[in-house]
Amino acid sequence: MVRERIEELRRQLELHNFKYYVENAPEISDFEFDAMMRELQELERAHPEFADPNSPSVRVGSDLTAEFQTVKHRYAMLSLGNTYSLDELHEFIARIERETGPTDYVCELKFDGTAISLTYEHGRLLRAVTRGDGVQGDDVTANVRTVRTVPLRLRGTGWPDYFEIRGEILMPYASFDRLNAEREANGEQLFANPRNAAAGTLKQQSSAVVAKRGLDCTLYQLAGDDLPFTTHWESLEKAREWGFKVSDAARICRSAAEIDAFIEHWDTARRELPFPTDGVVIKVDDFAVRRQLGFTAKAPKWAVAYKFKAEQAMTRLDSVSFQVGRTGAVTPVANLEPVLLAGTTVRRATLHNAEQMALLDIRPGDMVYVEKGGEIIPKIIGVDLSQRPADSRPFEYITVCPECGTPLVRYEGEAKHYCPNQGGCRPQIIGRIIHFIRRKALDIEGLGEETVELLYENGLVRNVADLYDLRAEQLAPLPRLGEKSADNIIRSIERSKQVPFQRVLFGLGIRFVGETTAKYLAEHFRSLDAVMKATREELVEADEVGGRIADAIIEYFAEDENLQIIRRLRDAGVQFEAEARELASENLAGRTFVVSGKFSRSRDEMKELIELHGGKNLAAVSGNVDYIVAGENMGPAKLKKAEKLGVKIISEEEFFAMIEGGGPVEKAAQQELF
């Protein structure tokens, strides 16, 4: 009896979910839907033996976290060739028809989100994987199950027992605006555009967070061994019957003129859509013709994406203001007469740097062309000189910091001006602290941007080390806090002492050392002491570290103020060493490797194996390298340099033989591989 009720509730909720989110034709109220969902959740909690990973209850997500596993695509997710010109598009059509004769095309909107591949087995969602590099991507199934327009179980009949369907995870404008409003209120960095927001949301470690962000999903391409269709259009119609959300905008076009008309219509009509689009995709409809045309190494020959031009508007430049970032970089910002552009009112635009302003010869009072290509802050791309006032004078760029009055400097090779007063410039100090507490760094909850400013204004923090001296009784009397918030902040600061070394290194805010670079530095050197002692030559041996980054690291640790902060952070108990690894063996001990090319597993996995068996990874070929593990498509420059230096080159199979305890292979044997 209980099982039957659970199944009935699941069927009803799936039906009403489809009616509401896909067909936009709800049949019951939100109250009735929520009541059924609560009943189902209570029954599932009481009877875990009837659990189903595709139950409608998973739509609310979970707070459990898990790292994303890399999954190899059964069918490669290739990218599309792009064109911005109708002439180039007509050439594409002409090439196809010279080879195949007249054929039909399906024109679809190009959605500006993040690509996804959904796998269905026996009519149920089995797996959801990001595009990744096209060969393999991240398994984000738990997060995608929360997206209401993704069917967990298929409707109708006739679907293949196993197939994949590709599409786009989108963030509608309404969800994007709501999310950024929440992030702004919490003092968090805003997402630049809906595409970035969708991609960032899909990689959240909590599916409960994903469920609240209002993602959408539109599907547009099936993949499988024995699909029961002869045309793409037929496959889209069937996908719609099975419960997938397929765009109603798609059309069959039988000539270049019809394709042009489709593009012209949507170049204007897209402004009324509730989600972002950036072009039109044109695909050959007939699967037999597609097989005849085939693929290049990177893209199908039977499809192309026509990209819309970025939207522009004209308005008056009222004034120029300047912002100072946490690194001291000064960015000029144009303050504009409000103008409607791409569905939003624009009041500011970035001017990038002094060189860009001089190139445009931009001056307050000018009528300027503003372009928005999806970013929060648009850019100025030109000036209407015919409307320039007769008394206009060239703009003189500032020479001192607008915040602290320190003379600005320009570093060699840098376009921006910088304020060098790191220890006394308010926005730099506050910016570094905000960077330090962010989720991807030390993840100190309760300290938003406004709270950090409050602590600064009250003299409680002047650098990140001061955070670890804070006491709850200092925080509680401050506006908008109180005892409970103060206790939560202190507990979060205490928890941050357990944050892994790589995130601490990122949190220090060393110029040019982003999240990925910090990860590679931590893996390579294993401790902050080792990073601090490393020479420039040793630093560039780490992945993603070039000369500019190495110089920035050395400059950072040459500053006495930074060294004092590090000493205090160390005394507070912050992690400055990577966790000790338990070696699987010492079969590669004392040997250094460079991994280059493609392998049966990812390069990160190959490098991980080297370290697990006692070896050391280097980024560049040099005389310090013992072996190059060479996969497919190894770079010719690396190969040439290795041969010149006499570095031994081994295959993937020989590498695994070494791991299993075999000795190094002689160089003469290696050269036979090439």
The catalytic residue positions are 110
Provide CB contacts within 8 A for 213, sequence distance 6+.
171, 175, 179, 197, 201
Q: Express the helix, strand and coil content of the chain in percent, nearest 5 each.
A: 40, 20, 40
CA distance 622 to 628: 10
Answer yes or no: is 607 a known binding residue: no
CA distance 446 to 429: 19
Answer yes or no: is 79 a known binding residue: yes
Answer yes or no: is 7 a known binding residue: no
- Which has the closest alpha carbon to 645: 631, 663, 627? 627
Answer yes or no: is 15 a known binding residue: no
3-state SS class at 239 = helix
Q: How many CB atoms lie within 10 A of CB 212?
A: 18
Answer yes or no: is 80 a known binding residue: yes
Facing residues of 168 across strands? 115, 218
Answer yes or no: is 33 a known binding residue: yes
Answer yes or no: is 366 a known binding residue: no
Facing residues of 251 across strands? 107
CA distance 425 to 402: 10
Facing residues of 108 across strands? 281
For 543-591, strand residue ranges (E) read none
> Any idea of the CA torsion for 651, 654, 660, 662, to the nearest 10 degrees?
-140
CB of 442 closer than 8 Å to CB of 503: yes
Answer yes or no: is 392 a known binding residue: no
Answer yes or no: is 168 a known binding residue: yes
Q: How many CB atoms lie within 10 A of CB 516?
A: 12
Answer yes or no: is 616 a known binding residue: no
**Where do runs of H (alpha helix) occur along 335-447?**
354-360, 426-437
CA distance 375 to 204: 22
Which pair of structure tokens corresponds to residue 496? Answer: 């941050």
- Which has the closest alpha carbon to 615: 580, 659, 572? 659
Which residue in this structure is represented by tokens 């602590």? 455
Q: How many helices (H) and strands (E) does the chain have?
A: 25, 21
Answer yes or no: is 593 a known binding residue: no
CB of 331 closer than 8 Å to CB of 322: yes
Facing residues of 370 across strands? 313, 380
Answer yes or no: is 543 a known binding residue: no
Answer yes or no: is 52 a known binding residue: no
Residue 82 is inside which H or E element, if any? Answer: strand 81-83
Answer yes or no: is 253 a known binding residue: no
CA distance 372 to 351: 13
Rg (C-alpha) for the chain, rounded Å, is: 29
* Binding site listing for NAD(+): 30-34, 79-80, 108, 131, 168, 283, 307
* Binding site listing for Zn(2+): 401, 404, 419, 425
* Binding site listing: 30-34, 79-80, 108, 131, 168, 283, 307, 401, 404, 419, 425
